[in-house]
Structure 1
Amino acid sequence: MNDIITTMFNKKFLEELFKPQELYSKKALRTVFDRLAHASIMRLNQASMDKLYDLMTMAFKYQVLLCPRPKDILLVSFNHMDAIKDFVKDTACILSQVDETYQQLIEMYTPLPSGEFQLIRQTLLIFFQDMHIRVSIFLKDKVQNSNGRFVLPTSGPVPHGTQTPGLIRMFSCTGEESGRLQFNNGGNYAAALCQGSFELFGDRVTKLGTNMYGVCRPVETHMSGTAKNSAQHTKVNAAPNPLAKEELNLLARLMGGLDVQKPPGNSDSSFRVNLFATDQEEEEALMSRPDELSYGFINIQATKDQSTNAELAKIMGEFSESRESRDHAPSASSRGDDLLAMMDGL
């Protein structure tokens, strides 16, 4: 964190930022964020950097949209500076860099009139106009729609020095008021325009830009209906399948590696594969089957004998020979290395 903040508040870097200039392009801004994020030993892959950049840009866009008056953008910046100072409060040299930048912000932006801040706000909103990236936390808090657009409040106290919306004044060429029109503002605005109302709203603005991951959120630990049904289904199916052992025994007999003794008192311990739900369905299907499609029975000899062992030994020998020939053949990686070496030579 110290490495990133030191790079962010580097003197030469800040001199370039504070120069009067046009707004950075999206590509240039992304490059700046890439350099800052990798100023320390931390490394992010492309996907992680994309998500981090999208999260930062959408959070700042939301902060700009919530500013009740254009000059409150400066309050948001001051709030960011205070948060950064908390990160480096134990490192005096880095803290002095942040304090110096704090003073530069005050000296440059405090004297600006409201019209200049309105131009800054409109420029920022134009920059973020086509960015509608959905953020899970915003979606969960219902401040962002499913299409990525923010839900803005239409009611609440108006900022200090402004009037309640609902009146249009028309002026003549000489600057004299020539008429008024009333319209329905569609919101519930506070009528009190005293300094106390401004301080209340200003306190709300200073909270913008706080770490949205630092807010305590309830952890959802209840199971959904699908999960409950799945858990119950798992418990029901936890009983051992009596046919599983017979299936494994049959496989072992087919491979010729196991002699299965019949249990005493049971002349036939084999099982039957039935593709129908019940025996009755199987009998009905057999009776309704045409004679030309009749078939016979195929008997599988599943007992262990010498002929079976000999055939299996022959098959296993073929596998061994093919494996040895494959082991002696050049691997794909070695062939790839040879190809790369040849290309280097060329």
Structure 2
Amino acid sequence: MSNIHALPLLFLNLGGEMIYILEQRLHAQQIPQDKSVKVLTDIVSVMLNERFLQELFKPQEIYNKQALKKLFEDLAHASIMRLNTASMDKLYDLMTMVFKYQVFMASHPHDLILITLNHLDAIWNYVRVPSVHKQIVIVHKMIMQLYGQMSVGELLDVRKSILNFFQDLKIRVSVFMRQKLQNSDGKFVIDPSGLVPPGCDIPGEIRSYDETGEIKDVTKFDGCGDYQGTRQLGSFDIHGNRNTDLGCNIYASAPGHSDNCSVSTCHTGEVPSKPASGGCSKGAASVKAAQGELNLLMTQLLGNRTAFDCNSTKDLIHITLFGTEVNEREEDVQLSIKKEIKIDARRQSNFAELDAVSREMTVDDNCEETPGDLLELLDSLN
């Protein structure tokens, strides 16, 4: 069973990685600034919606992989853009592998919080809209109220739950492989060198104590690493020094490159383990209920924001999210942006077809079902 408090960290950090990728590609493809800002602002506004996060922060098991991916697919289409199936698959693969690496490399339980705050700091700088900044302040408060009060052991349990969710994912990421942080089989390379976690001593000594608590003997050994002192714990403030690069944008060092975002599936011959919370197990009913509530809430948020005008001349912009490498086709990874019109969501006469679809929506008792397809709902407006 997964930790009942792991889902919010999983969602927020994967969402942050999605924003990094989209921002980098929008900039690299020289998309007009107003459209780039529109895409990021709309996605972040839905992702950090207070009502949505209140449901997300309720104690619940982690979704199965298909359900969580579907949630991000709907989120990615919350603005004036479209991703086909192949694009979404590769986008999600990259999001998950980068966050898996960050959690894997966390040397202290509190790093889980700092990684999340690094993502929020970046979103604050990308989306300079007062309403979004207000949302970030609220999310920061929710994070600190839940995770800031946890013990080291409780945070370790959350970390274990997230890593269990990622356990069978071994996807090669070119930016990791070029930096020799990942092997050709998809496994990460762990270098023990560097700063020691807060509150820990530099490895290399075994101390023996007498009955009074005094050191009576010290044995030296090879610590198998080049350690550089102790790292200070980063700040949990809304704007503070996190003292870790984990959770920062790994693409920022080389803007405009086209292959840092490339991914390729690693076939290792291993049999994938069963997805967490993916079967008809104990607690499945509560998971399905939470999924249904979040899905209906997401439907309201998306349905009340925008609709696309298909009667007007389409102004499509195609963006290649990832480089065209071996086993990748350009048409597989494109994002399209359309002109939009705003309509009053409070007037039911403007949403007759949407209302009809909403009335037909139910929460299925079949535990294998994932949240409903919100793309079909959006497409019905066309």
1:198 matched to 2:236 = no
Indicate the residue corresponding to 1:161 in structure 2: 199
TM-score (ref. length: structure 2) = 0.49
1:188 matched to 2:222 = no
How far 1:157 moved relative to its partner? Answer: 2.2
Residue by residue over 1:87-144, the C-alpha shift from the partner in whole angstroms, topping out at 9 and shown as x without a partner, is 222x212221121111111222111111111111111111111111011111112111
Q: Give the whole-Å Cα distance in 1 for the aligned partners of 2:146 and 2:83.
A: 34
Indicate the residue corresponding to 2:125 in structure 1: 86
Partners of 2:233 and 2:243 within 8 A in 1: no
Partners of 2:118 and 2:242 within 8 A in 1: no
Alignment counterpart, residue 36 of structure 1, candidates 75, 78, 89: 75
Change (3 A) 1:20 1:157: same
Q: Give the whole-Å Cα distance in 2 for the aligned partners of 1:101 and 1:30.
A: 22
1:26 matched to 2:60 = no
**How many residues are treated as equivalent by the alignment?**
209
Residue by residue over 1:136-162, the C-alpha shift from the partner in whole angstroms, topping out at 9 and shown as x without a partner, is 111112111111111111222211212
Partners of 1:75 and 1:206 within 8 A in 2: yes
Q: Give the whole-Å Cα distance in 2 for the aligned partners of 1:108 and 1:214.
A: 30
Partners of 1:76 and 1:205 within 8 A in 2: no
Q: Give the whole-Å Cα distance in 1 for the aligned partners of 2:91 and 2:181.
A: 19
Task: Write the mapping of 1:252-291 to structure 2, written as runs, cut at 5 A.
Answer: none
Alignment counterpart, residue 150 of structure 2, candidates 84, 108, 112: 112
Select between 75-84 and 102-111 the one with higher mean Cα deviation.
102-111
Q: Structure 1 unaligned segments of length 5 or more: list them.
A: 171-179, 221-346
Indicate the residue corresponding to 1:133 in structure 2: 171
1:67 matched to 2:106 = yes
Change (3 A) 1:123 1:181: farther
Partners of 1:67 and 1:205 within 8 A in 2: no
- The 4+ residue runs of structure 1 with deviation greater than 6 A are 167-170, 180-183, 200-204, 217-220
1:146 matched to 2:222 = no
Alignment counterpart, residue 250 of structure 2, candidates 212, 235, 238: 212
How far 1:66 moved relative to its partner? Answer: 1.6
Q: Give the whole-Å Cα distance in 1 for the aligned partners of 2:144 and 2:137.
A: 11
Higher strand share: 2
Q: Give the whole-Å Cα distance in 1 for the aligned partners of 2:67 and 2:85.
A: 16
Indicate the residue corresponding to 1:96 in structure 2: 134
AA matched with 1:92: P
Q: Give the whole-Å Cα distance in 1 for the aligned partners of 2:246 and 2:69.
A: 23
Alignment counterpart, residue 56 of structure 2, candidates 9, 17, 22: 17
**RMSD value over aligned CA atoms?**
3.1
How far 1:183 moved relative to its partner? Answer: 6.6
1:2 matched to 2:36 = no
Partners of 1:62 and 1:150 within 8 A in 2: yes
How far 1:24 moved relative to its partner? Answer: 2.0
Q: Give the whole-Å Cα distance in 1 for the aligned partners of 2:99 and 2:121.
A: 16
TM-score (ref. length: structure 1) = 0.54
Partners of 1:3 and 1:40 within 8 A in 2: yes
AA matched with 1:72: D
Residue by residue over 1:311-339, the C-alpha shift from the partner in whole angstroms, topping out at 9 and shown as x without a partner, is xxxxxxxxxxxxxxxxxxxxxxxxxxxxx
Q: Give the whole-Å Cα distance in 2 for the aligned partners of 1:59 and 1:219.
A: 17
Q: Give the whole-Å Cα distance in 1 for the aligned partners of 2:157 and 2:135.
A: 29
Change (3 A) 1:186 1:203: farther
How far 1:58 moved relative to its partner? Answer: 0.5
Select between 26-35 and 156-165 the one with higher mean Cα deviation.
156-165
How far 1:217 moved relative to its partner? Answer: 7.3
AA matched with 1:96: K
Partners of 1:63 and 1:76 within 8 A in 2: yes
How far 1:59 moved relative to its partner? Answer: 0.7
Q: Give the whole-Å Cα distance in 2 for the aligned partners of 1:43 and 1:218.
A: 21
Partners of 1:158 and 1:189 within 8 A in 2: yes
AA matched with 1:66: M
Higher helix share: 1
SS at match of 1:157: strand
AA matched with 1:85: W
SS at match of 2:187: coil
Quote the sequence identity (%). Answer: 46
Indicate the residue corresponding to 2:273 in structure 1: none
Change (3 A) 1:25 1:184: farther
How far 1:15 moved relative to its partner? Answer: 1.0
SS at match of 1:16: helix
Q: Structure 2 unaligned segments of length 5 or more: list them.
A: 1-39, 209-217, 259-382
Q: Give the whole-Å Cα distance in 2 for the aligned partners of 1:21 and 1:118.
A: 17
Work out which of the two has the higher radius of gyration on C-alpha atoms and give 1 or 2: 1
